[in-house]
A and B are shown apart, each in its own frame.
Chain A
Amino acid sequence: MPGRVEGKVALITGAARGQGRSHALRLAQEGADIIAIDIAGSLPGVQYPSPTPEDLAETVRQVEALDRRIVAKQADVRDRAALKAAVDEGVAELGHLDIVSANAGICIIADWRDTTEQIFDDTIATNLKGVWNTITATAPHLIEAGGGSMILTSSVAGIKGLPFLSAYVTAKHGVVGLMRAFATELAEHHIRVNTIHPTGVDTPMGQMDPNPFGPLLAAHPQLGGMLANLYPIDVTQPVDQSNAVLFLASDEARFITSTELTVDAGATQY
């Protein structure tokens, strides 16, 4: 039986590890070739380890083990020219582009007083402008292919407010704006644009020791419930997000556009 995205080429930002690597593997399992882009270097201001070139090499190894082709490029989504060059080279190598997962993002936890201008700017530059850079660098290739599917990674924080993440919440709401705007303009080219909205995912982004939420929630206990899931689980696995990406990427979702697909264990329901 052919895979659900057999013969398609998928470009994924933030593909060195975490959700991005998981998306690469899940799409490759279902027959896609992969263009993997990652900064593979120091992320600005984060409270968890940054991805490395070794992480990106491991994504390459795991995709190749599935007998799919992969082109990996080191590029920062904030650097428009570098990103465009990486996209263009990747597409030239694999022949065409059908699927875009704008997944690269950072998360910095701080209450509003401690959210510096640097934190705000870094978060907006990576999580919002980085997505805009990704969309605009890839859209011409999708138009040339006669259509395609863009999946932008937003968050539960793109639908409701979450405490101690003001820059992140702002950027992730902005991603929904990008999705709606580009869904509108790109529809005539049969390009679909949707968002996914993960709740907490078990990835390196969550590996913060000590966890900065601890003292903040202790000081503001009334806000703690906003971070809890409705469904009786603590955290989702990367593959749960990847399965949503796969569905939106596949022709099974050929007429789904401008949808906010929550994979959030009900976190936005209360």
Chain B
Amino acid sequence: MAGRVDGKVAFITGAARGQGRSHALRLAQEGADIIAVDIAGSIPGMDRFYPGATQDDLDETVARVEALDRRIVAIKADVRDFTALKDALDSGVAELGHLDVVSANAGVFQFGDKTEDVSDEDWDTVNDINAKGVWHTAKAAIPHLKQQGTGGSIVLTSSTAGIMGTPNVAAYTASKHAVVGIMKTLALELAPFSIRVNSVHPTGVNTQMIRNEATYRLFLPDTPHPTDEQAEEVFRTTNALPIPWVEPVDISNAVLFLASDEARYVTGLQLKVDAGYTLK
């Protein structure tokens, strides 16, 4: 049986690990070749939260996609640097022949400061990566999709924080709401070209971005060193379904659906994969 995205080429940012790697693997399992981009390095201002992805992480994504017998072009690039990002995508398309699917997944999570205490530097780091980086990703990809004339599917990673407010998470929440604005605008602009644009809205995902002591303390401010068990208990209270977090593959399955021709008339959708987080 043919894969659900057989013969397509997918461009994924933040593909070294976490959700991005999972998207690469899930799409490759279903027949896609991959253009993987990641900063694969530490990001100033982020180290106090969780460590950056590494070149080894990106190499591991490559090895695992190749183990599925799919082709992958992996390039180190920062989504904040449009020229570098565009060059990376252009060379990936040159090597793999075309472009069909875009997953604007790269993002960072900062939290903890009251809105009036957020520094300009932190605000800019988060919004430059999560919002401007998504715009850069679309900006680099759209000319390829338009020029091919074969349509396409762009999936932007937002968050439950792109739907609801989150106390003490101002920069991230603003950036993820901005993603929805970009999505809706592009859905309108690109429909005449049969290019679909949708967003996914994960609740907490079981990746390093939330599975770290700094994030645990956001939820357990009075506990100096929260344990996994304590975190699991408090995360469980955030969702309607009785689970603490979802797995990366749950988001990848949503991305796969939106990327595939099964969703050929789905555009402008905010697809929540949130275990009912936004219901509460």
Contacts and interface: CB of A to CB of B under 8 A. Distances in A.
Interface of A: 1, 180, 183-184, 187-188, 190, 192, 199, 230-233, 236, 240, 243-244, 246-247, 252-259, 261-266, 268-270
> Chain B interface mostly helix, strand, loop or mixed?
mixed
Closest 5 CB pairs of A and B: A252-B253, A243-B262, A187-B240, A269-B268, A258-B279
A190 B239 CA distance: 12
B264 A240 contact: yes
Interface in B179-193: 184, 187-188, 191-192
B265 interface: yes
A230 B272 contact: no
B271 A259 contact: yes
A265 B279 contact: no
B254 A266 contact: no
Interface string B256-271: 1100001111111101
Given A231-B191, A261-B271, A263-B266, A247 B257 contact: yes
Contacts of B256: 252
A269 B242 contact: no
Contacts of A254: 250
A266 B241 contact: no
Given A240-B264, A252-B257, A255-B241, A261 B194 contact: no
Contacts of B94: none
Contacts of A265: 191, 265, 267
A188 B269 CA distance: 27
B267 A269 contact: yes
Given A230-B268, A269-B184, A270-B188, A192 B241 contact: yes
A247 B188 contact: no
Contacts of A247: 257, 262
A247 B268 CA distance: 18
19 contacts: A184-B240, A184-B279, A187-B276, A199-B265, A231-B191, A232-B194, A243-B263, A246-B262, A252-B253, A253-B253, A255-B203, A255-B275, A259-B274, A261-B266, A266-B188, A266-B191, A266-B268, A269-B188, A270-B188
Interface residues of B, number: 35
A253 B254 contact: yes
B194 A231 contact: yes
Contacts of A259: 271-272, 274
B246 interface: yes
A244 B260 CA distance: 11
A255 B279 contact: no
A150 B266 CA distance: 20
Contact of B265 (A1, A190, A233): A233
Contact of B241 (A187, A199, A230, A264): A187
A252 B250 CA distance: 6
A190 B257 contact: no
Nearest to A198: B265
Interface in B55-90: none
A261 B275 contact: no
A204 B123 CA distance: 54
Contacts of B262: 240, 243-244, 246-247
Contacts of B250: 252, 254-255
A256 B243 CA distance: 12
A269 B253 CA distance: 24
A3 to B, nearest CB: 10
B276 A258 contact: yes
Given A180-B279, A230-B268, A240-B264, A257 B240 contact: yes
Contacts of B1: 1
B54 interface: no
A253 B187 CA distance: 24
Task: Give the most central of B192, B196, B268: most A CB within 10 Å.
Answer: B268
B273 interface: yes
B242 A190 contact: yes
Nearest to A232: B192
Contacts of B263: 243-244, 263
B29 to A, nearest CB: 11
A154 B264 CA distance: 19
B168 interface: no
A171 B274 CA distance: 26
